[in-house]
Structure 1
Amino acid sequence: MELKDNLNKVLEEIEQARRHSVTGQEVRLIAVTKTHEAEIIKEITNLGIKDVGENKVQELKDKIGKLGNIVNYHMIGNLQTNKVKYIYNKVEMIQSLDRIKLAEEIEKRAEADNICVNCLVQINIGDEDTKSGIEYCKTLSFIYDLLDFKHISIRGLMAIAPNTSDEKYLRSLFRKMFKMKEKISNENFEGLSMDYLSMGMSSDFKLAIEEGSNMVRIGSKIFGKRIY
C-alpha cells in the first residue's frame, strides 16, 4: 500500500504542476528503480507505470534478464562506450548521450543491427565537475555533429540540476533548458525531434514541470531511500 500511496501522491503532484506549466503538455514519468530489487518493477507495472530508469548498466542488464521487456527501460546514468553493447538494443531510450565517441559506438552497433536507437542529449546545466553532460553553450554544435549519425534518433534533451534548495536558481536553469529545446526545435533539423525535455527528479520535479519539462525521473519519492 505504501508504494501505491507514494505513486498516487507523485502523480497528483505532477498533474498539479502541469496545470501551471508553460506548455501544459502531458508529463511522462520515468520511475527510477536503481538499487531496488527487480521485483519492485513488477509491482510498479501493476500500478500502471510503463517506464523505468536505471543508472548502471549491470543493474539494468540484471533486471532485463530477470523480467524481460515488461516495461520500457531507460538508461539515465553515465554510459561508458565499452558497455554500449550490453544495452543499446534493449532500452527504450539512452538519456545520457554527451560525447561523440559514445555516439560513434551507438551508431556502429545500431547500424550492424539495422535499428535506430532513441537518445536524449545530456547537458551539464549547472556546469558541475561531478556531473556528465555537454556544456550548455556547446549544445547546438553537438547537435550539428549528431546529424550525421543515421541510426541514432535524437528525441530531446536531458539535464540533472544541481542539488540545491535555491528555487530561483533552479527555475533559471530549467528555463534555460526549455529555451534551448525550443531553439533547436525551430531549426527544423531533418531526422531530429525535440519531443522530450527530461529534467526534474524527486526534489525538484514540480519546478521543472512548471518551467517546461515533459519527462521526469523520480525514484525516492516513489520507492523510498536507496537500499545501498
Structure 2
Amino acid sequence: MVKENLEEVKSRMSAACKRAGRNPEEVTLIAVSKTKPSAMISEAYSAGVRDFGENKVQELCEKHLALPEDIRWHMIGHLQRNKVKQVIDKAVLIHSVDSVRLAVQIEEEAARKSLVADILLEVNVAEEDSKYGFKLEGTESAIREIASLPHVRIKGLMTIAPFVENSEENRPVFKKLRQFYVDMQSKNIDNVNMNMLSMGMTGDYEVAIEEGATLVRVGTGIFGTRYYMNT
C-alpha cells in the first residue's frame, strides 16, 4: 500500500510542478512518519524515500536508533526547549522554531556539540490561536536576531496552514508566505540562506507546490490514517 500511495503522491507532485512551470527536483517530499511503526517506514525507505518527518522528540530518537543511518530525520512538531539536546544531533532540519528563546536554546546545545543546526522559522500566517509560530509582521526582526547566533543557520520558513475541506482556500496563505520568503531572500541577511519553504500537507500539498513550496510534508497520503504505537 505504501509503495502505491507514494507513486500517487509523486505523480501529483510532478503534475503540480508542471502546472507551475517548476522542476520537480526543486521539491522534496518528507514522509511524515509520526505514530507509524518501523515496518511501514522501511517500506517507504525501500521505495526510495530518505526524508522522514517526526512530531515528537522521543519517537524521532527511537527511530533514529532503529532505522538506516542514511535516513534524514526532520523535526516538524512543536519543540520544547528542554528537549532540544536530545534531537540536536539527530534531526537534519528543525522546521518548527517558533520563538527566539527556542533558537537560543538550539544555539547553546549546538555549541556544546560543536555543530551548526539548520532550522526553519515557523510562521503562523493565518494567525490561528491553536497554532504555534511567529506572526508574519514579527518574523523579520526574529530572523535578524536569530541570524546573530553562530551555531544556528536559518535555511528558510515553514507554515502549517488551516485544516480546510477545499485546498484552494489555503492558496492565499501559501502565496503570502512565499512573497515574504522572496522578500527576505532579497535582503541578503548574513547567516541566512533562505532557500527552503516548508508548506503543504496531505490535503493541500499540490496547491503549496504551485505557490512555491520546496518541502512538502505528507503523512496520511503515504501511510494511510494515523496508526498509534503501543508505547
Q: Which amino acid aligns with 1:7?
A: L
Shift of 1:65: 2.0
Q: 1:209 — aligned with what?
A: 209
Q: 1:123 — aligned with what?
A: 123
| Structure 2 residue 50 is the aligned partner of structure 1 residue 50 | yes
CA deviation vs aligned residue, 1:79-133 (integer Å, no higher than 9, x gap): 0000001001111100001111111111001112211001000001111111111
User: What fraction of aligned residue pairs are identical, expressed as a percent?
Assistant: 38
Q: TM-score, normalised by structure 2?
A: 0.94
Shift of 1:147: 1.4
Shift of 1:164: 1.2
Q: Which amino acid aligns with 1:95?
A: H
| Structure 2 residue 18 is the aligned partner of structure 1 residue 19 | yes
Shift of 1:166: 4.4
Cα distance in 2, alignment partners of residues 105 and 167 from structure 1 = 35
Q: 2:2 — aligned with what?
A: 3
CA deviation vs aligned residue, 1:184-213 (integer Å, no higher than 9, x gap): 000011221111110000000000100111
Q: How many positions carry a matched residue from both structures?
A: 227
CA deviation vs aligned residue, 1:36-88 (integer Å, no higher than 9, x gap): 11222222111110100000111111111222523000000000000001001
- What does 1:177-216 align with in structure 2 at a 5 Å threshold? 177-216=177-216
Shift of 1:21: 2.3
In structure 1, the residue corresponding to 2:91 is in which secondary structure?
coil
Q: 1:148 — aligned with what?
A: 148
Q: Which amino acid aligns with 2:86?
A: Y
The unaligned stretches of length 5 or more in structure 1 are none
Cα distance in 2, alignment partners of residues 143 and 22 from structure 1 = 30
Q: TM-score, normalised by structure 1?
A: 0.96
Cα distance in 1, alignment partners of residues 144 and 42 from structure 2 = 40
Q: 2:104 — aligned with what?
A: 104
Q: 2:65 — aligned with what?
A: 65
Q: Which runs of 4+ in 1 moved over 6 A?
A: none
The unaligned stretches of length 5 or more in structure 2 are none
1:22 to 1:180, Cα distance in 2 relative to 1, 3 A: farther
Q: Which amino acid aligns with 2:2?
A: L
CA contact (8 A) 1:22 1:211 kept: no
Shift of 1:23: 5.0
